[in-house]
Amino acid sequence: MAIMTYRDALNQALREEMLRDENVYLMGEDIGVFEGAYKVTQGLLAEFGEKRVRDTPIAEEGFVGAAIGSAMLGLRPVVEIMTINFSILAMDQIVNNAAKIFYMFGGQCPVPMVIRTPGGGGQQLTAQHSQSLEVWYAHVPGLKVVAPAFPADAKGMLKYAIRQNDPVMFIEHLALYNTRGEVPDGEYLIEFGKAQVVRPGKDLSIFAHSRMTLYALEAAKALEGLGISAEVVDLRSLRPYDLETLVASVKRTNRALYVEEGWGTYGIGAEICAAVTEAAFDYLDAPIGRVAGAEVPMPYSKPLERAAIPSPATIVAKAKQLLNRP
């Protein structure tokens, strides 16, 4: 099993799927000649040519609409939007067309497309380029939304996404592209709707997705030094999500905490906390806690940016509070 970066795992998934199916093609801003703003498409223009790796104008609504049309005609576009913040410009195409066409045409016209886009903060890209907007898309029936945290999941979930007949929002995180991990070779698929227990524990469950899963693992390690055994569950798939695994974790630990980088109000954590409380109320010894981003536009100042994003230390503090530990 090779060790590679999250970026290279995505690149490998794209290449393998393009070799497997000639209907898979890529489009997006600067993905061809420049090989992607984050180099995820490096080498693919040279290998597959301009017909299958298409640079687009800076016109998100236009090229997402073109991708939807080609998907309706049987192709499998993988669209890269340079940042999830730019996806707002294409929201009408994503929400009103991609998500609804299959249902509005009586199930006769699937839209098999993937939109890859990075989100999150921490890079001093300030208020308009540091947002975690995955919850906007997870709110919409007709879309599937995933946010893998590890290189192996990035590969397995992207290959699975490309084979879906539904539109998929594939959310990456800017800070994950250089992270490294073991990635299986060749055919490797991860089904959507399956959370993963990435660290077992018995005193507290910490649920998270994307980069916050890595922070939750750091927090769990620190909590271990305080005599607290924390179980960490990576949600991976936001729509659909795996309620069964979350409830099973609560049954083992009797306390839970959700960690997300985005704003907490109406966030992913709000949905998960409500669903787990309804399903496992009798097993909870305390209300489910939440750690989320500060409810402000992301500041440019580095100290303020750090303060606005949850950290392992804030997770540890909230965990101790839930367990009534000093």
Active site annotation includes 134: no
Binning pLDDT at 50, 70 and 90, where does residue 326 land?
confident
**96 — phi, psi (to 5°)?**
-90, -20
Answer whether residue 163 shows pLDDT above 90. Answer: yes
Say if residue 279 is exposed, middle or buried (CB neighbours under 10 Å; 0-12, 13-18, 19+). Answer: middle
Active site annotation includes 129: yes
Binning pLDDT at 50, 70 and 90, where does residue 186 land?
confident
1 vs 31, which has greater pLDDT? 31
The contacts of residue 147 (CB under 8 Å, 6+ apart) are: 134, 171, 172, 173, 209, 210, 235, 236, 237, 238
Instruction: For residue 240, say if its preceding peptide bond is cis, omega within 30 degrees of 0.
Output: yes
Say which of 29, 60, 260, 261 is annotated catalytic. Answer: 60
Say which of 61, 129, 139, 271 is annotated catalytic. Answer: 129
When pLDDT is averaged across residues 229-239 and rounded to a whole number, the result is: 98
- Residue 61 CA to residue 43 CA, distance in Å, equals 26
What would the pLDDT profile of 262-302 be if each residue is shown by its tens digit? 999 999 999 999 999 999 999 999 999 999 999 999 999 99
Half-sphere exposure of 94 (CA within 13 A, CB side): 27
Mean pLDDT for all residues in the chain: 97
- Please report the pLDDT score of residue 108 as a whole number: 95
Could you tell me which of 165, 156, 168 has the C-alpha nearest to residue 117? Answer: 168
Binning pLDDT at 50, 70 and 90, where does residue 305 land?
very high
Answer whether residue 22 shows pLDDT above 90. Answer: yes
When pLDDT is averaged across residues 155-168 and rounded to a whole number, the result is: 98
Grouping H, G, I as helix, E, B as strand and the rest as coil, residue 20 is helix
When pLDDT is averaged across residues 63-79 and rounded to a whole number, the result is: 98
Q: Where is 119: in which H helix or E strand?
A: strand 114-119
User: Which residue type sits at 180?
Assistant: R
When pLDDT is averaged across residues 116-120 and rounded to a whole number, the result is: 97
